[in-house]
Amino acid sequence: MKILVIGSGGREHALVWKLAESLQVEKIYATPGNIGISKLATCIVPENNSPVALAELATRLDVDLTVVGPEAPLVAGIVDVFNRRHLPIVGPTRAAAQLEGSKIFAKDFMSRHHLPTAAFTICETPEAAYDIISSKIYGYPVVLKADGLASGKGVVVAQDESQANQAIQEMMVEKKLGESGTRLVIEEYLEGREASLLVFSDGKQVIPMPPAQDYKNIYDGNLGPNTGGMGSFSMPGLLDKNLKERLVKDLAEVTILGMAEEGTPFRGVLFMGLMLTENGTKILEYNVRFGDPETQVILSRLDSDLLDIFLGIANGDLSQVKPSWSDMSTVCVIMAAAGYPGQIEASQIITGLEEAESLENVKVFHASTKLDDSGQVVTAGGRVLGVVARRFSLEAARQQAYKAIEQIDFIGKHYRRDIALLRH
């Protein structure tokens, strides 16, 4: 089979790597792909990123299946465009992708289906938002979320009234996030341990993946500003088995059933960001695609064929698919460029990639790299590489990942030292 993967990050490198292992796969294309992906797939930089242009590309390449990595094309309706042309694709329709595309939709949906989430108020105007803040109903910290997609910049945890008012000013009045910040959700701050639970769904049934934990802050000890993710791990028992089964039944299955009942069945990968609080587990957010860098550690534990799962989703029937997961633990440490998550300096030469990958059970996924004029691999963005190790214990996987990292060098490199060590 011929497969097209849409996207360019570490998540997509992991998807391509796993698909390339399938005996059913004869050819992989990626658009736009990246340097790491180009070793396994033919990368095509599209002139035009619109859903229609990508459907035309899939037709021209005569692919049997398209897999979408990032959320933006899903929220823009790529699956609807492919469906109309009878092109098989893995992902939710535009209506179902609203679970991520609109925080207000997601919150209202959770209320309609009695799914546990933080108490919230929807604010349509800045005045309404200022009123909620001055009423202090949620105390401090308080969380403000832009309704629309914001590439990870749409959530502000405000410690006091002035920070909250500043967030309202920036998002709703100055429109720093564009239309995404026109409406806001203001919600109570939840305390607890976070976990990411991802499931595959064909619109009716749910197949859970092993849970993972990611690290969003830039500095050790979960300090400093949020990033796209500085590392992740997955291991057996990350969530207690009974708890996991309950979460799959009470949260994932209720969500999938609810979407089907509302006439917008969800087919694809549903990602639930969870907070395990003293008062039970609550859903912080939905994503409608694989997580980055969760995918790198989750797929590193998949022992069976990823393509079988994707075909089941695209055909709307996962009943015959029984994935098998490894009992090994996996750790991913992200190496970032100087300045990240702020302004970064690109084009630094990267050395030691082969040495790192020659270590046992180590895989280096590219996120933002490119080739310079002399053919050297150089940095090209904030999150540069994701170094993954897989071992029989979490501690051994952690040590192996950091051993691999020591092989890799570029000017300004930085990474967290406490991935898989800090466990809350």
Residues at the site binding ligand GLY, with contacts judged by CB under 6 A: 214, 229, 287, 291-292, 294
Q: Which is nearer to ligand AMP, 118 or 168 (CB)?
A: 118
CA atoms within 13 A on the CB side of 166: 8
DSSP string covering 268-335: EEEEEEEEEETTEEEEEEEESS--TTHHHHHHTTB-S-HHHHHHHHHTT--TT----B-SSEEEEEEE
Q: Give the chain's end-to-end CA distance (angstroms, integer).
A: 42
Q: Does 101 bind ligand AMP (CB under 6 A)?
A: no
How far is it, in rounded angstroms, from Cα 325 to Cα 304? 7
Interface pick for ligand AMP out of 187, 202, 292, 294 (rule CB under 6 A): 187
Which amino acid belongs to residue 299?
Answer: L
- Contact segment (CB under 6 A) with ligand AMP among 30-38, 53-61, 183-191, 344-352 equals 183-191
202 binds, among ligand AMP, ligand GLY, none (CB under 5 to 8 A by kind): none
Q: Is 273 in the site for ligand AMP (CB under 6 A)?
A: yes
Residue 143 near ligand AMP by CB under 6 A: yes
**Rounded to the nearest whole angstrom, what is the least distance from the CB of residue 90 to ligand GLY in the complex?**
17
Name 48's Cβ contacts closer than 8 Å, sequence gap at least 6: none
CA contacts within 13 A on the Cβ side of 181:
22
What, of ligand GLY, ligand AMP, none, does residue 229 touch, CB below 5 to 8 Å by kind?
ligand GLY
Of 170 and 395, which CB lies nearer to ligand AMP in the complex structure?
170
**Smaller CB separation from ligand GLY, 151 or 376:** 151
- Size of site (CB under 6 A) for ligand AMP: 12
Q: What is the dihedral of CA 246, 252, 258, 261, to 10 degrees?
A: -100
Of the candidates 126, 184, 197, which has an alpha carbon nearest to the alpha carbon of residue 155?
184
Q: Does 218 bind ligand AMP (CB under 6 A)?
A: no
Nearer to ligand GLY, 187 or 305 (CB): 187
> Would you say 225 or 339 has its CB closer to ligand AMP?
225
Q: Applying CB under 6 A, does 285 fall inside the site for ligand AMP? A: yes
118 binds ligand AMP (CB under 6 A): yes
Pair of tokens at residue 147: 């309704």
Residue 293 sits in the site that holds ligand AMP (CB under 6 A): no
Residue 291: name its binding partner from ligand GLY, ligand AMP, none (Cβ under 5 to 8 Å by kind).
ligand GLY
Q: Which does 210 bind (CB under 5 to 8 A by kind): ligand AMP, ligand GLY, none?
A: none
| 216 lies in the binding site for ligand AMP (CB under 6 A) | yes
Q: Are 117 and 110 in contact, with CB atoms under 8 Å apart? A: yes
**Neighbour tally for 154: CB within 10 Å:** 20
State how far the Cα of 332 lies from the Cα of 13, in Å rounded to an integer.
13
* Nearer residue to ligand GLY within complex by CB, 265 or 293: 293
Does residue 274 touch ligand AMP according to CB under 6 A?
no
- The Cβ of residue 143 has, within 10 Å, a number of other Cβ atoms equal to 20
For ligand GLY, the closer CB: 201 or 287: 287
Q: Is 292 among the residues that bind ligand AMP (CB under 6 A)?
A: no
Question: Measured between alpha carbons, how far is residue 152 from residues 14, 72, 80, 339, 399 in Å?
Answer: 21, 12, 25, 17, 29
The CB-of-383 to ligand GLY minimum distance in angstroms stands at: 11
Residue type, 348: Q
Nearer to ligand GLY, 210 or 229 (CB): 229
User: The tokens of 228 are what?
Assistant: 């796209």
288 binds ligand AMP (CB under 6 A): no
**CA 95/CA 86 separation, integer angstroms:** 18
Query: Smallest distance, Å, CB 188 to ligand AMP?
Result: 6
- Pairwise CA distance, residues 285 & 132, whole Å: 21
Of 270 and 311, which has the nearer Cβ to ligand AMP? 270
Q: How far is the CB of 321 from ligand GLY (least distance, A)?
A: 24
Residue nearest to ligand GLY (CB): 291
Tokens of 254: 């209720």
- Nearer to ligand AMP by Cβ, of 136 and 322: the residue is 136
**Binding site residues, ligand AMP, CB under 6 A:** 118, 143, 155, 157, 187, 189-190, 194, 216, 273, 284-285
